[in-house]
């Protein structure tokens, strides 16, 4: 470990679990890391109550996602010239949103907020995690749509229509928004890979400027899987 750096990880129960046979649920792992140039804080989830092999695989995948997020931040801060810091430090905060946990599927989102030293504005984004417990693999949007008997084209059309209607309802639909929706929902898997699962539905998340002006923030829409 580098001098001046410390990392603390602790576990906190989020649900009542037996010490011998814990019920299916979530624990919370705390992040705390600090150097002269950055500070990381926050939490990420840990699954308990699955069969040992399944649980080990799920939590390894969750840890990998979290570490990739931290590594991206560290890489960015390491590239900042010392002369530009002027005593400022970069800050990363990680929280999460749980949407589904069963013996077959784990779905949640990491909510990431970062403030890079010297940058004009802070940044926030979402990284989603959808894991097939039995297959020991992450799920892509193509997996979900294909299993439902649809394809990316049908998803694109459904989402485009829903986003357009939602923008009209909130009085935010204009020519600029129409262009953003058209481009942001083009039938390409990359446009829909930030998603969460809940019972019977996909929750699609779109980053600022993807399907709406940046001032409206992250857009979210729920699509019933059977409608595909």
The model's pTM: 0.84
Asked whether residue 1 is domain-assigned, the answer is no
In a shared domain, residues 25 and 106: yes
CA distance 166 to 145: 22
The verdict on 53 and 154 lying in the same domain is no
Q: Is residue 145 domain-shared with residue 134, that is, in the same domain? A: no
CA distances from 67 to 6, 18, 62 (A): 15, 29, 9
The Cα 42–Cα 34 span in angstroms is 12
What pLDDT is attached to residue 87? 82
| One domain, residues 131 and 157 | no
- Quick one: pLDDT at residue 22? 65
Judge if 93 and 202 occupy the same domain.
Answer: no
- Give a yes or no: residue 168 inside a domain: yes
31-40, 132-141, 205-214, range with the lowest pLDDT:
205-214
Q: Is the pLDDT of residue 12 over 60?
A: no
Residue with tokens 């699609």: 204
* pLDDT > 50? residue 187: yes
Last residue of a domain, one of 111, 138, 165: 138
Q: Are residues 134 and 157 in the same domain?
A: no
The tally of domains found in the chain comes to 2
Structural domain including 19 reads 6-138
């Amino acid at each position: 470990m580098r001098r001046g750096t410390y990392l603390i990880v602790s576990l906190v129960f989020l649900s009542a679990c037996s010490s011998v046979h814990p019920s299916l649920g979530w624990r919370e792992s705390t992040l705390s890391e600090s150097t002269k140039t950055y500070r990381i804080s926050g939490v990420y989830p840990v699954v308990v109550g699955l069969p040992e092999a399944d649980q080990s695989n799920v939590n390894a995948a969750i840890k990998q996602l979290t570490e990739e997020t931290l590594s991206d931040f560290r890489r960015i801060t390491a590239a900042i010239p010392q002369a530009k810091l002027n005593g400022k430090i970069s800050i990363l905060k990680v929280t999460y949103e749980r949407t589904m946990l069963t013996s077959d599927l784990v779905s949640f989102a990491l909510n990431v907020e970062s403030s890079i030293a010297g940058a004009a504005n802070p940044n926030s984004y979402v990284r989603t995690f959808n894991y097939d417990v039995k297959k020991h693999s992450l799920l892509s949007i193509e997996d979900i749509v294909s299993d439902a008997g649809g394809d990316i084209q049908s998803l694109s059309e459904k989402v485009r229509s829903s986003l357009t209607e939602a923008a009209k309802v909130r009085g935010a639909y204009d020519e600029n928004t129409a262009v953003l929706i058209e481009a942001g929902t083009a039938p390409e898997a990359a446009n829909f890979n930030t998603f969460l699962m809940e019972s019977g539905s996909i929750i699609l998340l779109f980053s600022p400027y993807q399907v709406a002006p940046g001032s409206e923030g992250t857009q979210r829409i729920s699509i019933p899987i059977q409608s595909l």
